[in-house]
Amino acid sequence: MSNRLCILIAEPSFLIREGLKTLLSNQGQPYRLEEFDAPVDDLDKLINRINPDLVLLNPKLVVRLVSLPRYSDNNFEPYYIGLFEPGTPPHIQSKFDQMIWLDAEKSELNKVMEKVLKHLRNGLSEPENNSLSERELSILKLVALGHTNNEIADKLFISAHTVMTHRKNITRKLGIKTVSGLTVYAILNQLIKIEEIQGAD
C-alpha cells in the first residue's frame, strides 16, 4: 500500500467537485484523485478497480444504492463520505461513515475534512506496530489450519463478523491475502507445524 491517499469523488456538479478539491488541498496531504460525474451502474466494480482510501459520493449518482462496498478479499475498506443534498433520506445517510451537507458553511466543511483526513492518515502512516496481537495470532493459526470463519467464531466465542475484522487486520499487517499464503506464513514463523494441516486446500 502506498502512502499516498487515493480519493474518489463522484459528484455531478463541476463546481462542487472543484470546491472539494480546494478543501482537500488545503489539508496539505498528497493524494491521487479519481473523479466521476456520470451515473455509476456498478459501484462495487468501481470501488474494486480504484481501491480508494476515501470516497466522496453523492448518492444520487448511484443507480440503485443498496449498500456501500465494504470489505472484500482484495481491498481495504474505504471511508465513505456522503455528499448530501437537502432532503436525503435517513436510510441513505446511515450507510455512510461521515456526511457533508452540500448547503453547509465552508468552515463547517473544512472541519469535517480535517477530521476525516486525520483519521485516514493514522491508518496509513504505517510503521507503527505491524506485529500481530495475541487474538490475531490465534485466529491466524486457526485460519492456517484450514478452519472457516464460522468455525473460528464458534471456537473463540466471538461473532463471524469479528473474525472477519481480525482477518482483515491480519491481511493488512502481513500483506498476505489468501488462506494458503497465511498457511505458509504460519509455518515459516513456526506458529503451526506442517504435519498439523488437515488435508490440502
Would you give the distance in Å from CA 45 to the centre of its chain? 14
For the CB of residue 135, give the shortest distance to other proteins in the complex, in Å. Answer: 21
How many residues touch other proteins under the rule CB under 8 A: the total is 22
Q: Does 187 bind other proteins (CB under 8 A)?
A: yes
For the CB of residue 185, give the shortest distance to other proteins in the complex, in Å. Answer: 6
Binding mask 22-61 for other proteins (x = CB under 8 A): ------------x-x-x------xx--x------------
Tell me the residue type at 85. Answer: E
Non-local (6+) Cβ contacts of 28 within 8 A are: none
Q: Does 164 bind other proteins (CB under 8 A)?
A: no
Interface residue with other proteins among 194, 195, 198, 199 (CB under 8 A) is 194
Give the residue with the Cβ less far from other proteins, 15 or 188.
Answer: 188
Q: How far is CA 52 from CA 18, 56, 103, 130, 139, in A?
A: 19, 10, 25, 21, 27
Of 99, 112, 48, 33, which is closest to residue 78 (Cα–Cα)? Answer: 48
Q: Does 177 bind other proteins (CB under 8 A)?
A: yes
Q: Are 160 and 153 in contact (CB under 8 A)?
A: yes
Q: Does 176 bind other proteins (CB under 8 A)?
A: yes
Interface residue with other proteins among 22, 133, 135, 184 (CB under 8 A) is 184
- Rounded-to-integer distance, Cα 114 and Cα 106, Å: 12
Binding mask 62-91 for other proteins (x = CB under 8 A): -----------xx-----------------
Q: Are 146 and 179 in contact (CB under 8 A)?
A: yes
Cross-strand partners of 130: none
Q: Which residues bind other proteins (CB under 8 A)?
A: 34, 36, 38, 45-46, 49, 73-74, 174-178, 180-181, 184-185, 187-189, 194, 201
